[in-house]
Amino acid sequence: MSKQVIIIGGGVIGLSCAYYAAQAGHRVTLLDREAADHPGCSHRNAGMVVPSHFTPLAAPGMVALGLKWMWNPESPFHLKPRLDGGLIAWAYRFWRAATPARVRAAAPVLRDLSLASRAAFESLAAQEGGDFGLARKGLLMLCKTAHTLDDEAAVARQARDLGIPAEVLDARQTAALEPGVRMDVSGAVFYPQDCHLTPHRFLGALRGWLDAMKVDIRWRTAVTGWRTEGKRIAAVRTSDGDLSGDEYVICGGSWSPAITRDLRVRIPLQAGKGYGMTLPQPRQLPQHCAILTEARVAVTPMDGALRVGGTMEIAGFDETIDLRRVRGIMQSVPDYFPDFRAEDFTGLEPWVGLRPCSPDGLPYLGRTAAHANLTIATGHAMMGLSLAPVTGMLIAEILSGHPPAIDLSLLSPDRYA
């Protein structure tokens, strides 16, 4: 049965939900508070599709590592102390979730989501208008030290146990995969199923398909409130007037808690600020996307350029650029690729994006008990692009009254209710 679906949020998650909902035969209206050309984190991320990332952000050892990094202004992680009850509660829940048992339970779910999303990217790339630079070349976890390589080899064993191919390479084998790039590493773990693409081209493809399906997209339309009738939402109040639908989907990224506040739906999130730059004419261009493991920096070849991004800064909605964080990213690249220089980045304009981070590192995905016609899709942290297609597919199944193809019990929006 066709339904009128109102989706709030025009990032990669919202656009993907709109695409699959429209494909399922629903009438879709999508709202976003920003302009159509607003450069959010959906446009400027590292463009990676990563089945290799089956460990949630809240993992054993992350609390201790985060405390160690907090005092280094150029480190990959920073939590800006502030008197904020929401931040304190989030940090406590993060600590509670960072256990081996929780990671073991989450890993198969993240695997299933990632592999289904990868297959969906391949299908999308094969259809008309699907030229968004999907490169099925794999990912390298580059390790400077033998100790880190040993740690990553243990993760590779877990990946293989989950059915995710992973190869541990020494320095010579790593160099053979990138013959045109000089590297200074002890070795790498190679994940052949990982891919990369060009984010803004993927978003452009989604918008083109939505236009073709007559989806009503309303930019510069902010949510100002809600009208409810019992356990159902009757209308969403916006800066452009009230809109009524049969179903409502919230894909508001880091702003989702503010959108749901009047609905008495609690989805704890913190905005994780990430930084990035794009070298338009790099000295050398790797063929594979890579993670500089110790530095926690992502490097992706993209349309002849090289995109570099990293850091996780928990600082609320502060989008100012801390040049110390940028300097940490710039200095890490020559550590792994010695023909590069930190001054290669001089004159480039860094950018930031706010990634929605749940306390346990898992997205919120599914219906909420608070309202019978409300579905949540947010909290993907650094995996928003990677998990966007499967998120859209699962939301479309829920809206159509079908059981989701993947067990979503760990991802319930009500798990902190």
Cβ atoms 189, 169 nearer than 8 A: yes
Whether the predicted pLDDT of 243 surpasses 90 = yes
37 falls in which pLDDT band (50, 70, 90)?
A: confident
- What's the mean pLDDT in 169-188? 97
Instruction: Identify the pLDDT of residue 58.
Output: 79
Instruction: Identify the pLDDT of residue 409.
Output: 96
Q: Strand (E) positions, 239-361? A: 241-243, 247-250, 270-279, 289-292, 297-302, 305-314, 351-357
Angle between helices 384-399 and 100-126 (to 10 degrees): 80
Whether the predicted pLDDT of 11 surpasses 70 = yes
Q: Using the 8-state DSSP alphabet, how is residue 155 labeled?
A: H
Which CATH architecture is the domain 55-98+134-195+273-352 placed in? 2-Layer Sandwich (3.30)
Give the DSSP per-residue string, 101-151.
HHHHHHHHHHHHHHHHHHHHHHHHHHSTT--S--B---EEEEESSHHHHHH
Instruction: Identify the pLDDT of residue 321.
Output: 86
Which pairing describes strands 270-279 and 351-357: parallel, antiparallel, or unpaired? antiparallel
pTM: 0.95
* d(C-alpha 311, C-alpha 330), whole Å: 12
- What's the mean pLDDT in 310-332? 85
pLDDT tens string 210-235: 999 999 999 999 999 999 999 999 99
Alpha helices (H) along 129-250: 146-161, 171-177, 199-212
Which pairing describes strands 167-170 and 364-367: parallel, antiparallel, or unpaired? unpaired
What are the residues whose beta carbons fall under 8 Å from the beta carbon of 283, sequence distance 6 or more? 339, 340, 344
411 falls in which pLDDT band (50, 70, 90)?
A: very high
Dihedral pair phi/psi, residue 368, rounded to 5°: -115, 145
How far, in whole angstroms, is CA 133 from its chain's centroid?
A: 18
- What's the mean pLDDT in 240-267? 95
* d(C-alpha 353, C-alpha 74), whole Å: 17
Between CA 39 and CA 43, with CA 42 as vertex, the angle to 5 degrees is 50
Dihedral pair phi/psi, residue 393, rounded to 5°: -65, -45
- What's the mean pLDDT in 5-23? 97
Q: What is the mean pLDDT of the chain?
A: 93
Neighbour order of strands in the sheet with 364-367: 216-218, 27-31, 4-8, 247-250, 374-378, 364-367
> Worst-scoring range by mean pLDDT, 124-133, 232-241, 339-348?
339-348
- What's the mean pLDDT in 181-186? 97
86 falls in which pLDDT band (50, 70, 90)?
A: confident
417 falls in which pLDDT band (50, 70, 90)?
A: confident
**Which tokens hold the place of 297?**
């920096």
**Coil, strand or helix at 290:** strand
Cβ atoms 187, 171 nearer than 8 A: yes
Instruction: Identify the pLDDT of residue 7.
Output: 98
